[in-house]
Chain A
Amino acid sequence: MIQTFFNPEIIVASWPIVLAGLRNTVLLSLLVVPLGLFGGLILALLASVKAPAVRWPLMAWVDFFRAFPPLVLLILLFAGLPFAGLELGGFACVAVAFFLNTGAYYGEILRAGIDSVPAGQVEAARSTGLSRLQAMAFVVLPQAVRNVLPDLLSNTLEVVKLTSLGSVVAVPELLYQARQAQSITYNPTPIVVAAAIYFLLLWPVVRLLSRLENRALARR
């Protein structure tokens, strides 16, 4: 059992490969999380325009990406676009897919946050002479983000986990590298190591989230 799943020789031999994967997963996360947040911010700001002509298409956009599996979106970009003469490469496809998919989720969260700030805040800010944009940036958004911080964190955790989809389009992130090492060594140890790395990396976030959620409940 130990020889199969926790083989020390294989851990040592595959360590450089797995480590390169870990580095790429971190880099990928550092790229796609801000990208998703940016997409979400655009959606949330658009949603604060209450006109039906804006609201309905926006709702449809968000529901579309809530219904559409991210892997399907990724494959569509990676395998479908070349037929239209556009070859993006795995990395760019992941970036675009995450911008669209996680942007929709971040957008919903930020929208809820903006809705949670009382209208009086905007009115007070506007009456002091701030422009609409200034009121949004300096008064509403800081409070909105604070109100939905646990949800933002929880979604960010999901986004980091989702970077493992990159392995399907040959982005050399943690899971991809571990599978490469596995096929070289004919041993599942590298995958176990990758799983352990994900767990050690993300467990503190999960613990923190659990505590934040419990505190939110206690305040009710």
Chain B
Amino acid sequence: MSRWDRFTETFLNTKVMARYLPDILSGVVVTIELALLVVVTGLAAGLSLALLRSLGIRPLNWLIIFIVDLFRSLPPLVVIVLIYFGLPSVGLSPSGFVSTWLSLGFVLMAFSEEIFWAGITSVARGQWEAARSTGLSFGQTLRHVVLPQAFRLTIPPLTNRTIAITKGTALGTVVAVTEILGQASSAMSNSYNPSPLMLGAAAYLVLFLPVVVAARWVETRFAWKR
């Protein structure tokens, strides 16, 4: 057997891959579910916090800033472990899936709040006044003047962060979530063969590479022309 044959036999073993493909695919479904939940709830919570912050209530703003800073400084894996292993001590037992969702959701909330807030504050007050003085209504000003400018500013950092945090769904494997990495790892230990892991790695690329390429396109499309 040549070296190449031995390599493919070990790392790209089609028999093993075919056997564990259904497991990996069910992991893909879990990863997609988890990722969508994190993105939707995280961004919605971040936007809500940013809007709350724009009301300008001092004590509330301090609280928001503290929460945002907290989840920007804690590693996501620490938050996951804290929720999963900590909460059962007070009688709550969130599943690994829920723990991962909550943790990554909080982290994305914190980062996106900062970005949304930066977008809102970046549009100069004079823009509002000028738009309103030309006879545009509040809603029209928001839609046609403020949001397009804020949007351009927030898109590149927002896509970057969202991708980076969504990739964190792989961390769920530490708390026994049956997502891609979890399925691939247990398939590997069952078959004594790393091929399922290669399959899992390929699944991540198939899922995330289009998103990364799309993000790159969006970034150049919406970049400020200096």
Contacts and interface: CB of A to CB of B under 8 A. Distances in A.
Interface string B64-88: 0000011011111111011001100
B61 to A, nearest CB: 13
Contacts of B181: 69, 71-72, 75
B128 interface: no
B6 to A, nearest CB: 9
Contacts of A119: none
A167 B204 CA distance: 22
A195 B74 contact: yes
A132 interface: no
Given A76-B201, A202-B73, A67 B82 contact: no
Given A76-B201, A187-B89, A220-B122, A199 B114 contact: no
Contacts, number: 132
Contact of B77 (A63, A175, A202, A214): A175
A contact face: mostly helix, strand, loop, or mixed: helix
Given A83-B10, A84-B10, A179-B81, A63 B212 contact: yes
Nearest to B85: A188
B82 A72 contact: no
B197 A75 contact: yes
Contact of A63 (B78, B170, B204, B213): B213
A75 to B, nearest CB: 7
B205 A64 contact: yes
B214 to A, nearest CB: 11
A67 B211 contact: yes
Nearest to B73: A202
B170 A188 contact: no
B11 A80 contact: yes
A20 B209 CA distance: 38
Contacts of B81: 175, 179, 191
Contacts of A70: 167
A149 to B, nearest CB: 16
A161 B75 contact: yes
A220 B118 CA distance: 12
B118 A213 contact: yes
Contact of B194 (A83, A203, A220): A83
B68 to A, nearest CB: 8
Interface string B168-202: 11110110000011000100100001100110110
B185 to A, nearest CB: 7
A75 B180 CA distance: 12
Interface in A76-106: 76, 79-80, 83-84
B211 A79 contact: no
B69 to A, nearest CB: 5
Contacts of A167: 77
Contacts of A131: none
13 contacts: A63-B216, A67-B209, A67-B212, A69-B169, A69-B170, A71-B170, A72-B200, A84-B10, A164-B77, A195-B74, A198-B73, A206-B69, A206-B72
5 A-B pairs with least C-beta separation = A67-B208, A202-B73, A161-B75, A69-B170, A188-B86
